[in-house]
Amino acid sequence: MHGDDDVDGPVALDDLVDQCRRRRRILQVVPAHVTETITNPITAPRHLGVVWWPAGRHHGGAGLLQAAGDGGTDADRPRHTGHERNPPVESSHHTNVPPEGYRAGRRRWVVFTGIVEELGRVVSRDGARLRIGAERVLADAELGDSIAVNGCCLTVVARSPDASWWEADVSDETFDRTNLGDLEPGSPVNLERPVRLQDRLGGHLVQGHVDAVGEIVDPSPDLRVRIGPDLMRYVVEKGSITVDGISLTVVDALDDGFTVAIIPHTEAVTTLSTKGRGDAVNIELDVTAKYVEKLLAWRLEKS
């Protein structure tokens, strides 16, 4: 923060979050050990935009909250390097206590684009715990980060020391409302990390919140998916739709589903190459259509 937003001394994290949200500021949590050069964060130069919170107050112990995006240069801001990230934690048991290094509350700002980064595979499933083999999406993943699995936003709760697999806890609700309950060891899964503000938006905005499970009527390349008629009001020709976490463009909106033309590259690098007639796929509809529908309904009620 700078100018009228200067902060004198410690500030409650929740208060700062509310202030920045009202001012449309962007927040990122910076672990204390990343900013070792700042000997006294409370009196640090304000153009760094950092605020100190005491150890034990939030998950992860002492640290800094940085309000980014409006002042200072890249050189002014604390940076992460590979050896500064929290070390990976290999979990041998399930617990409700966040592991050391876990960063809480980040999923509130998570959004994806539907551009699959990696085709991972399920290593094991132990009750609600999924272990997924991956490489690319783990390059900078830390505990508490989000990764979309077949379009479903999950949280990293453990990862291997060699960054070859990660684990997520899946709720019964998620198993019931998605196709994740069908996963077995060896099953391929589409993986994507959340988009960053500086990334290109190659697909469309995807929340990672699955609306329904569709059924493949005809497999790719001329993909046809059946969904409930009550959802078809959100599907339009040439509009965007997410199938198993893949951002696709609707060719035809039918009475009971839609069709999509799949190019060879998309089929080769996603789970669509393994999907056949009758298989289940996660569907996420464009959230913009839902907001428009609700606003129009509200306006009609008022008029």
Q: Is residue 97 part of a domain?
A: no
Nearest to 246 by CA among 218, 229, 217, 223: 223
Same domain? For 216 and 264 the reply is yes
Q: Is residue 125 part of a domain?
A: yes
Same domain? For 168 and 240 the reply is no
User: What pLDDT is recorded for position 200?
Assistant: 84
> Residue 42: what residue type?
I
Judge residue 229's burial from the number of C-beta atoms within 10 Å of its C-beta, 0-12 exposed, 13-18 middle, 19 or more buried.
exposed
Query: In the 8-state DSSP scheme, what is residue 64?
Result: E
Q: Is residue 303 part of a domain?
A: no
> For residue 135, what is the domain's CATH number?
2.40.30.20
Same domain? For 238 and 162 the reply is no
User: CA-to-CA distance for 106 and 16, rounded, in angstroms?
Assistant: 15
User: What pLDDT is recorded for position 13?
Assistant: 53
Same domain? For 277 and 226 the reply is yes
Same domain? For 119 and 165 the reply is yes
Same domain? For 111 and 183 the reply is yes
Tally Cβ neighbours within 10 Å of residue 103. Answer: 21
Which residues touch 140 (CB under 8 Å, ≥6 apart)? Answer: 85, 193
Which of 47, 81, 115 corresponds to the end of one domain?
A: 81
Q: Is residue 253 part of a domain?
A: yes
- Structure confidence by residue, pLDDT tens digits, 54-111: 333 333 333 334 333 333 333 333 333 333 334 444 444 444 444 555 444 444 468 9
**Residue where the block lists tokens 């132990």:** 126
Same domain? For 187 and 224 the reply is no
Same domain? For 73 and 134 the reply is no
- The residue segments making up the domain with residue 110 are 106-192
Q: Is residue 158 part of a domain?
A: yes
Q: Is residue 156 part of a domain?
A: yes
User: What pLDDT is recorded for position 197?
Assistant: 81
Q: Is residue 228 part of a domain?
A: yes
User: What pLDDT is recorded for position 63?
Assistant: 38
Q: How many domains does the chain have?
A: 3
Q: Is residue 57 part of a domain?
A: yes
Same domain? For 183 and 232 the reply is no
Q: Extract the residue ranges of the chain whose pLDDT is less than 50.
A: 1-11, 24-98, 102-108
User: What pLDDT is recorded for position 41?
Assistant: 38
Same domain? For 113 and 70 the reply is no
DSSP string, 111-175: -B-S---EEEEEEEEETTEEEEE-SGGGSS--TT-EEEETTEEEE--EE-TTSSEEEEE--HHHH
Q: At 278, is the secondary structure helix, strand, or coil?
A: coil
Same domain? For 186 and 231 the reply is no
Same domain? For 227 and 276 the reply is yes
